[in-house]
Amino acid sequence: MKRLSWFNAVSLTLGFAFLYIPMVILVIFSFNESKLVTVWAGFSTKWYGELMQNEAFLNAAWVTIKVAVFSSTIATVLGTIAAYVLVRGGRFMGRTLFSGMIYAPLVMPEVITGLSLLLLFIGIGLDRGVFTIVLAHTTFAMCYVSVVVSSRLVTFDRSLEEAALDLGCSASEAFRLVTLPIIAPAVISGWLLAFTLSLDDLVIASFTSGPSATTLPIKIFSAVRLGVSPEINALSTIMIAIVTVGVITASLVTKRQVAKQKREEMEAVRN
Amino acid sequence: MRRYFLIAIPYVWLLALFLVPFVIVLKISLSDAAIARPPYFPQFDWAEGIRAFFAELDFENFIFLTEDDLYWKAYLSSLKIALISTFLTLLVGYPMAYGMARTPEEWRPTLMMLVILPFWTSFLIRVYAWMGILSNEGFLNQFLLWTGIISEPLTILNTNSAVYIGIVYTYLPFMILPVYSALERLDGSLIEAAEDLGCSRLSAFWLVTIPLSKNGIIAGSFLVFIPVLGEFVIPSLLGGSNTLMIGKVLWEEFFSNRDWPVASAVAVILLLLLVIPIVLFQRNQQKQQEAEQ
- Put simply, the answer to whether B14 touches A92 (Cβ < 8 Å) is no
- What residues contact B151, with CB distance under 8 A and at least 6 apart? B145
Judging contacts by C-beta atoms under 8 Å, the chain A residues touching residue B260 are 119
Amino acid B53: pLDDT: 64
Sign of CA dihedral A157, A162, A167, A168: positive
Strand ranges inside chain B, DSSP E: 32-33, 40-41
Nearest-CA distance B52 → chain A (Å): 19
Judging contacts by C-beta atoms under 8 Å, the chain A residues touching residue B117 are 243-244, 247
What radius of gyration do chain A's Cα atoms show?
Answer: 23
In this structure, which CATH number among 1.10.3720.10, 2.40.100.20, 1.10.10.10, 3.10.20.90 belongs to the domain A55-156+185-270? 1.10.3720.10
Region of A123 please: left (phi>0), alpha (psi -120 to 50) or beta.
alpha
The mean pLDDT value for B74-103 works out to: 94
Nearest-CA distance B67 → chain A (Å): 22
Q: What is the pLDDT of residues A25-39, one digit of tens each?
A: 999 988 988 877 777
- What residues contact B290, with CB distance under 8 A and at least 6 apart? none
Q: What is the pLDDT of residues B222-253, one digit of tens each?
A: 999 999 999 999 999 999 888 889 999 999 88
Residue B31 or residue A151, greater confidence: A151
Nearest-CA distance B220 → chain A (Å): 14
- pTM for the model: 0.88
Q: What is the pLDDT of residues B265-291, one digit of tens each?
A: 999 989 988 888 888 888 888 888 787
Chain B residue closest in CA terms to A250: B113
Domain B68-292: give its CATH architecture.
Answer: Orthogonal Bundle (1.10)
Amino acid B7: pLDDT: 87
Chain B residue closest in CA terms to A245: B117
- Put simply, the answer to whether B102 touches A98 (Cβ < 8 Å) is no
Q: What is the SS3 string spanning B246-276?
A: HHHHHHHHHHCCCCHHHHHHHHHHHHHHHHH
CA distances from B79 to A158, B41, B262 (A): 45, 32, 20
- Put simply, the answer to whether A200 touches B117 (Cβ < 8 Å) is no
- Probe site for chain A from B1, B3, B12, B22 (most A CB atoms < 10 A): B22
Does residue B46 surpass a pLDDT of 80? no
Amino acid B43: pLDDT: 63
Nearest-CA distance B160 → chain A (Å): 17
Other CB atoms within 10 Å distance of the CB of residue A28: 13
Does residue A224 surpass a pLDDT of 80? yes
Q: How far is it, in rounded angstroms, from Cα B42 to Cα B57?
A: 8
Other CB atoms within 10 Å distance of the CB of residue A165: 14
The mean pLDDT value for A61-77 works out to: 96
Distance between terminal CA atoms of chain A?
35
Report which listed range, A47-51, B116-120, B124-128, is most confident.
Answer: B124-128
Question: Which of B28, B124, B278 is nearest residue A119 as measured by Cβ atoms?
Answer: B28
Residue B162 or residue A45, greater confidence: B162
Spatial contact of B142 and B106, defined as CB atoms under 8 Å apart = no
Amino acid B45: pLDDT: 53
Sign of CA dihedral A44, A48, A53, A56: positive
Domain with CATH 1.10.3720.10 in chain B: 68-292
**Structural domain boundaries of chain A?**
55-156+185-270
Q: What is the pLDDT of residues A163-183, one digit of tens each?
A: 888 888 888 888 888 888 888
Does residue A269 surpass a pLDDT of 90? no
Report which listed range, A42-51, B170-179, B267-276, is most confident.
Answer: B170-179
CA distances from B87 to A90, B34, B84, B96, B162 (A): 41, 43, 5, 15, 16
Q: How far is it, in rounded angstroms, from Cα B6 to Cα B12?
A: 10
Q: How far is it, in rounded angstroms, from Cα A145 to Cα A131?
A: 20
